[in-house]
A and B are shown apart, each in its own frame.
Chain A
């Protein structure tokens, strides 16, 4: 009764919020500061090349088959060891970033990156062709002045 009249339950809450008023915020000011994703982060997907610049990809088409969203198109050329992709499109507008393609690839020709800023006005920009897939995605990261 006395506790109720003095509102101890409410005071407890007030005390807690006051305590946090004087503590440091935990948020990150996004465009100025960015968190680096963990290595396993499934961002945009990249094609990997050998050291000599030739395609690792053998255009087997397993990635296109396993993709739940059906956003990968592959066409290859050549036979045996010569086989390499001519067309390799990933439509990131449709991609659901499950990275099944990376997991299934027999020659590790695909990799996930930490690039995630894919909010775009231009849908065509998200349609990555074979040349765009080889680029360094870092250059598209949004930068803001401090």
Chain B
């Protein structure tokens, strides 16, 4: 006996008629559960700014997810068309405001490639020094917030203590703590001030010790492990096809670091290891960043040694009214978040015709739905933390 609709089914059910195969299907239809749609963000404590996620939940399990961006859009790329090449540098600071030096670096490398400017070696070393310091500071902030999202609140303050030391170094050399604006086309703004090298060395001494603090609280902690191991997995192929870069892809076992595979500045003269782990999960990405902090510390030490011995000019002669030749250029650097590329089209005037920024956070963010499907709500937080996004860079 076939059942046509819900009403009939209920009548039959009340009579106590036994159910066959077809009836079971109808029953399932009648008692279908609905997805719960939850809006996570743009005001949410752990979406790292103004990211908005639309989650479809079955219980607490995620069946679907959509990433909504654009809440921090400031039109940086368009603004670039109305600023001179020099004036655009402070704007790059405000992309990834956590690692402003790295953002500067990408831009000046691109412009110098376009205009074929030879940069003094000392300037290159200072640039690498600053970029690596900001890599450490970026990873520290990442570790702080990531751990805070997962509930370990003390790591946050410990990381900020060390980050404060780096910001002091920035303030000493560049005058700014967050938006440093230190790099110039053809070099850096000014030579390192007196006492900087000693202070920086002191930091390099302290820092590996302090990493032990974070390790004690996280590295082997069973709660941390159970929250991160095998969570938000993404395979190397999938990650590459989604354009994942930086520590996020190195956590999936892909040895791709622009500092090694496409050396710029003086990275080919420096001795460091590229951190690669193949867990593909949140924990692997944690390990990559943790090791990168220590490796960056090594690079900083090497730079300091070189800088101590080799004084010299830090800025090439670049005219005040700077006009690069007609042409276009793409240059990429390894920013703390991944591959940061600037594509600049010049029409020979003082202003760029078009600037396109390949922001690592933007590409990394798009892998989030892939990572999170099938996991629980709590894992979304871990996944967002593990890809380390900065919304300033995502929305530009």
Q: What mask results when residues 6 to 40 of chain A are scored 1 for a CB within 8 Å of chain B, else 0?
A: 01011011011100100000100000000001111
B220 touches A12 (CB 8 A): yes
Q: What residues on A are CB-neighbors of B41 within 8 Å?
A: none
Known contacts A68-B87, A68-B91, A104-B320; A99 and B175 CB within 8 A of each other: yes
**Is A140 in the interface zone, CB < 8 Å from B?**
no
Residue of A10, A20, A39, A98 near B221 (CB, 8 A) is A10
Q: What residues on A are CB-neighbors of B222 within 8 Å?
A: 4, 7, 9-10
B216 touches A13 (CB 8 A): yes
Q: What residues on B are CB-neighbors of A67 within 8 Å?
A: 87
Least CB distance from A26 to B in Å reads: 6
**Is B8 in the interface zone, CB < 8 Å from A?**
no
Residue of A4, A7, A9, A112 near B175 (CB, 8 A) is A112
Interface band, chain A: 20 to 34
**Is B90 in the interface zone, CB < 8 Å from A?**
yes
Least CB distance from A5 to B in Å reads: 11
How many residues of B are in contact with the other chain, CB < 8 A?
Answer: 31
A68 touches B83 (CB 8 A): yes
Q: How far is the CA of A15 from the CA of B220 in the complex (A)?
A: 14
**Is B173 in the interface zone, CB < 8 Å from A?**
yes
B176 touches A16 (CB 8 A): no
- Interface residues in A27-83 (C-beta closer than 8 Å to B): 37-42, 66-68
Q: How far is the CA of A17 from the CA of B91 in the complex (A)?
A: 40
Q: How far is the CA of A81 from the CA of B387 in the complex (A)?
A: 59
**Is A97 in the interface zone, CB < 8 Å from B?**
yes
Q: How far is the CA of A68 from the CA of B86 in the complex (A)?
A: 9
Q: How far is the CA of A140 from the CA of B193 in the complex (A)?
A: 28
Question: Which among A66, A96, A104 has the greatest number of chain B C-beta atoms within 10 A?
Answer: A96
**Is B154 in the interface zone, CB < 8 Å from A?**
yes
Q: How far is the CA of A10 from the CA of B154 in the complex (A)?
A: 14
**Is A103 in the interface zone, CB < 8 Å from B?**
yes
Q: What residues on B are CB-neighbors of A103 within 8 Å?
A: 189
Residue of B154, B171, B213 near A40 (CB, 8 A) is B171
Q: What residues on B are CB-neighbors of A42 within 8 Å?
A: 175-176
B176 touches A97 (CB 8 A): yes
Q: What mask results when residues 111 to 129 of chain A are scored 1 for a CB within 8 Å of chain B, else 0?
A: 0100000000000000000
Q: How far is the CA of A84 from the CA of B172 in the complex (A)?
A: 33
A sample of 8 more A-B contacts (CB under 8 A), given A13-B217, A38-B193, is A26-B164, A41-B175, A68-B83, A97-B176, A97-B179, A98-B179, A100-B87, A100-B90
List the interface of chain B (C-beta within 8 A of A): 83, 86-91, 154, 158, 161, 164, 168, 171-176, 179, 181, 189-190, 193, 213, 216-217, 220-223, 320
